[in-house]
């Protein structure tokens, strides 16, 4: 079932689709972006990736679509396997799909009680339960500080360690209850969103995967091809912005002998594209979305 894809018109426009081109939807999810890309193709190809097996049920029956059950960090290998390098454009929507959030069994949502899971790929061994119950205190603190940007990271880790000595923490509601002493009154929603974000990033190694995807995406693009990324929090957006600007994650732009910058991408829009009030009114997930575009030089 297709969901409301964030910044749909803007992302399709950003790809500058050629009807006979080769395109990639790196995060198939509910299939909304892919469906829109397929409408623009006449003889072209679309390769879509998703590591979540549930996404395969959303497959659109279209001869131009190849849906690959894999993390987008293996983008280059699969495109070479299908002899489809270089490509004309790549789109990635880094948000958690609505069907993942709305399924309590997946453990992504702060709104429903569910098991502490948060795996995008349920074949992976480490879930949020293992992180919460088995990680050492120092590592837990680092995760909540770096991935959740929580200044209460030390207190959060100590509360978890104290509780798990008595019995394992197994559900999202148990975790929320345990962490209530660390929450500022009136900021509960934001706090738990950051806690869940930190755990989800660790479980799925999301930032490492994103770095690999950006490097490989640049590699497989043809000259003039577009790389379009929609992110939802500052950690992702910072990585995308820095890579698009400098071609690396250190922020240092290399220069040639004559002082000219050596960068693989050109950024046509200096500022990120954000959703309008109309879209936000019907899809609250769009509020935090940031769309950035880069073109291979």
DSSP string covering 208-266:
HHHHHHHHHHHHHEEEEEEEEEEE-SHHHHHHHHHHHHHSSSS-PPPB-TTS-B--SEE
Range of the domain at 214: 8-99+206-296
Last residue of a domain, one of 178, 204, 230: 204
Question: Does residue 271 share a domain with residue 191?
Answer: no
Question: Does residue 193 share a domain with residue 135?
Answer: yes
- Output the pLDDT for position 3: 57
- Output the pLDDT for position 2: 44
The CATH number covering residue 287 comes to 3.40.50.150
Question: Does residue 271 share a domain with residue 135?
Answer: no
- Does 250 map to a domain? yes
The CATH number covering residue 136 comes to 1.10.150.170
For 48, the 3-state DSSP assignment is strand
How many angstroms separate the CA atoms of 225 and 265, rounded?
10
- Does 289 map to a domain? yes
How many angstroms separate the CA atoms of 285 and 83, rounded?
36
- Output the pLDDT for position 98: 76
- Does 2 map to a domain? no
- Does 3 map to a domain? no
- Does 20 map to a domain? yes
Mention every residue, 6+ apart, whose C-beta is less than 8 A from residue 97. 3, 29, 30, 52, 55
DSSP string, 161-184: HHHHHHS---BHHHHHHHHGGGPP
Last residue of a domain, one of 204, 229, 247: 204
**Helix 188-204 with 206-220: angle, nearest 10 deg:** 60
Question: What is the tally of structural domains in the chain?
Answer: 2
Question: Does residue 57 share a domain with residue 68?
Answer: yes
For 45, the 3-state DSSP assignment is strand
Last residue of a domain, one of 204, 232, 257: 204
Averaged over successive runs of 10 residues, the pLDDT of the chain (297 residues) comes to: 79 98 96 96 97 88 96 98 98 88 89 94 95 98 98 98 98 98 96 98 98 98 98 97 95 90 94 96 93 98
Question: Does residue 122 share a domain with residue 72?
Answer: no
What counts of helices (H) and strands (E) characterise the chain?
A: 12, 7
- Does 1 map to a domain? no
- Output the pLDDT for position 1: 42
């Amino acid at each position: 079932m297709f969901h409301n894809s964030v910044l749909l018109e803007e992302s399709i426009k950003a790809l500058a689709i050629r009807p006979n081109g080769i395109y990639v939807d790196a995060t198939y999810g509910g299939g909304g972006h892919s469906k829109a890309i397929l409408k623009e193709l006449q003889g072209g190809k679309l390769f879509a990736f998703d590591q979540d097996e549930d996404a395969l049920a959303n497959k659109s029956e279209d001869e131009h679509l190849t849906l690959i059950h894999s993390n987008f960090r293996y983008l280059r290998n699969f495109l070479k396997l299908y002899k489809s390098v270089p490509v004309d454009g790549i789109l990635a929507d880094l948000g958690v799909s609505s069907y993942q959030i709305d399924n309590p069994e997946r453990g992504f949502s702060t709104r429903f009680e569910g098991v502490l899971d948060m795996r995008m790929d349920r074949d992976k061994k480490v879930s949020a339960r293992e992180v919460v119950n088995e990680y050492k205190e120092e590592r837990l603190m680092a995760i909540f500080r770096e991935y959740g940007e929580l200044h209460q990271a030390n207190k959060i880790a100590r509360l978890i360690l104290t509780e798990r000595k008595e019995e394992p923490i197994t559900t999202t509601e148990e975790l929320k209850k345990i962490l209530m002493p660390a929450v500022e009154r009136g900021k509960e929603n934001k706090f738990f969103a950051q806690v869940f974000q930190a755990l989800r990033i660790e479980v799925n190694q999301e930032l490492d995967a994103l770095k690999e995807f950006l490097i490989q995406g640049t590699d497989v693009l043809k000259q003039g091809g577009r790389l379009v990324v929609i992110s939802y929090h500052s950690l992702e957006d910072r990585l995308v912005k820095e890579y698009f600007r400098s071609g690396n994650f250190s922020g240092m732009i290399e220069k040639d002998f004559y002082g000219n910058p050596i960068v693989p991408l050109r950024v046509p829009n200096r500022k990120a594209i954000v959703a309008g009030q109309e879209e936000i009114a019907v899809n609250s997930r769009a509020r935090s979305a940031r769309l950035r575009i880069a073109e291979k030089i």
